[in-house]
Chain A
Amino acid sequence: MELTGIFKYLYELLAATGLPEVWVDIIALIAAGVIVFGFLALVALFLVWLERKFAGHAQQRPGPMRTGWHGWRQTIADAIKLLQKEDIRPTLVDRFVYFWAPVVVFVAAFMAYVVIPFGEGLIVSDLNVGILYVVAITSFTVIGMLMAGWGSNNKYSLLGGMRSAAQVVSYEIPMVIAICSVILFVGSLSMVDIVQSQAKIYQWYVFRLPFGPIAFIIYLIAGTAETNRTPFDLPEAEQELVAGFNTEYSGMKFAMFFLAEFVNMFTVSAIGATLFLGGWQGPLLPSWMWFLGKTMFLVLVLMLFRWTFPRLRVDQLMEFAWKTLIPFAFVNLILAAVMKYSGWFNW
């Protein structure tokens, strides 16, 4: 069942009230924002649960089992617990920066959802700079991390914040170049155009040999690093940096960092599904189910990474980005351009 009809009906219901058109649009956008916020909160709760179960089964133990069926109420209980936790603010912090850091990190993750195409017609606003907007907005996370690291006035936080900034910034370049090679074929930055150019399964950009799979792998590796997940989770390497930039955060502020982390993971998977796996395109099932299915598949791949690879060292991490991924991404981009120009595999 397509969801577009329901939203269209609600919008018409709103328009029928006789409010000026500007207000109708503003109210509709606010409603869309609240729906997205609720959806993301649910997704984060689900992903935390899934990650625990995955971790459990990867290590031959069941994971949370006591609360509800296979422990499904565990993360809900955790969310309520976090809401009730005391907010400990160390005396020495820079109050202003310390307070706004979690807000910046979360809002940066949240704003990307303006252009995520959840299904056919299920997009908040199809901006013509779509993918560039996502890249730009999600990099604001770095500023939030630096703010948290600096504002906490804690040595672990500062080192964690600096490390994550260097890492996220380095891996952004191969990621964007991989995205560029797809844009080359689409000829538009709009997310809807990107999805529509992959109507048939052989048109999905992963299957466009030889550049597609390489771009996809580069994107996935860089995406894992962007979200600070294992094997690239150095900013919060527990054994050396306690918890990285969020060491001094507790209660709801910590929850915001946590939420943003899982939202970012979902964003990376959603963009990956849109760019390389055909987004909402697929037979029989409604478009939003295809989109969610593909996104969840990529989320599971990221989780598999986490529980099968050991963590890299700092020097390996940075050298891998600059000496391996970036040259590969450039060669791949030129390859894609030559392919596009020669009309080779131009379906």
Chain B
Amino acid sequence: MASYAAVLIFLLLGIGLVLVTFFTARLIRPSNPYKEKNQTYECGERPFGDSWVQFNNRFYIFALLFVIFDVEVVFLFPWAVAFNQLGLFALIEMVIFIVILVFGLVYAWKKGVLKWV
């Protein structure tokens, strides 16, 4: 049964089973909400403002780097699978490819992008 139908069925089944669990819990759990209980948690202090604000994060640079390297990894997979048939040519080509990428990583490193402030 090497079929991709399993993926679809597992997706639907996963969502279904989680929703069934939520529904079961709904039947037996108490529900007693009031204003104070439904406040946003901020260590017992009165919460101030929204958290949907702009804040300085360092994460987008890592996200950018990730996209580059992840695309590269996508190229690595078919290379790895077909390596037996391709031989020396594939080996040298991939070494060149990886060296170019590592050069990019070194550049980012030197620029101080990888430093977490």
**Contact A89–B115 (Cβ < 8 Å):** no
Contact assessment for A189 and B81 in the assembled complex, using a CB-CB cutoff below 8 Å? yes
Considering the chains assembled together, what is the distance between the CA atoms of A248 and B76 in angstroms?
Answer: 40
Q: Are B13 and A180 in contact (CB under 8 A)?
A: no
Q: Are A173 and B69 in contact (CB under 8 A)?
A: yes
The residue that A180 contacts in the complex, of B15, B50, B77, B95, with Cβ under 8 A, is: B77
Q: Which residues of chain A are within 8 angstroms of B9 by Cβ–Cβ distance? A: 26, 29-30, 33
Cβ of A176 < 8 Å from any Cβ of B? Answer: yes
**Additional 19 contacts, C-beta under 8 A, given A251-B25, A341-B88:** A25-B5, A83-B25, A88-B33, A102-B18, A124-B6, A125-B1, A153-B52, A156-B41, A176-B70, A177-B73, A180-B80, A187-B80, A256-B18, A315-B117, A319-B114, A334-B94, A337-B83, A340-B83, A341-B87
* B-to-A contact residues, CB < 8 Å: 1-7, 9-11, 13-15, 17-19, 21-22, 24-26, 28-33, 35, 37-43, 50-52, 57-59, 62-63, 65-66, 69-70, 73, 76-77, 80-84, 87-88, 91, 94-95, 98, 101-102, 105, 109, 114-117
Most A CB atoms within 10 A — which of B17, B35, B57, B117? Answer: B17
Mask, A70-86, CB within 8 Å of B = 1, is: 00000000000001111
Q: How far is the CB of B88 from chain A (nearest CB, A)?
A: 7
Taking CB atoms, residues of chain B closer than 8 Å to A322 are 62, 65, 105, 109, 114
Q: Which residue of A lies closest to B105 (CB)?
A: A326
| Chain B residues, CB < 8 A from A188 | 81
Docked Cα-Cα span, A319 to B24, in Å, equals 45
Q: Which B residues lie within 8 Å of A172 (CB)? A: 66, 70
| Per-residue contact bits, chain A 320-343, to B (CB 8 Å; 1 contact, 0 not) | 001100110010011001101100
Which range holds the interface residue count of chain A?
35 or more
Query: Which residues of the partner chain A approach B19 to less than 8 Å between Cβ atoms?
Result: 103
A315 to chain B, nearest CB (A): 4
Q: Tell me, in angstroms, the Cα distance from A36 to B115 when the chains sit together.
A: 42
- B residues within 8 A CB of A181? 80
User: Is A207 engaged at the interface, CB distance under 8 Å to the other chain?
Assistant: no
Can you name the residue of chain A whose Cβ is closest to the Cβ of B27? Answer: A83
Q: How far is the CA of A156 from the CA of B22 in the complex (A)?
A: 25
The answer to whether A92 and B40 have CB atoms under 8 Å apart is: yes
Q: How far is the CB of B9 from chain A (nearest CB, A)?
A: 5
Q: How close is A275's CB to chain B, nearest CB, in angstroms?
A: 13
- Least CB distance, B83 to chain A, in whole angstroms: 5
Most chain A CB neighbours (cut-off 10 Å) among B4, B21, B70: B21
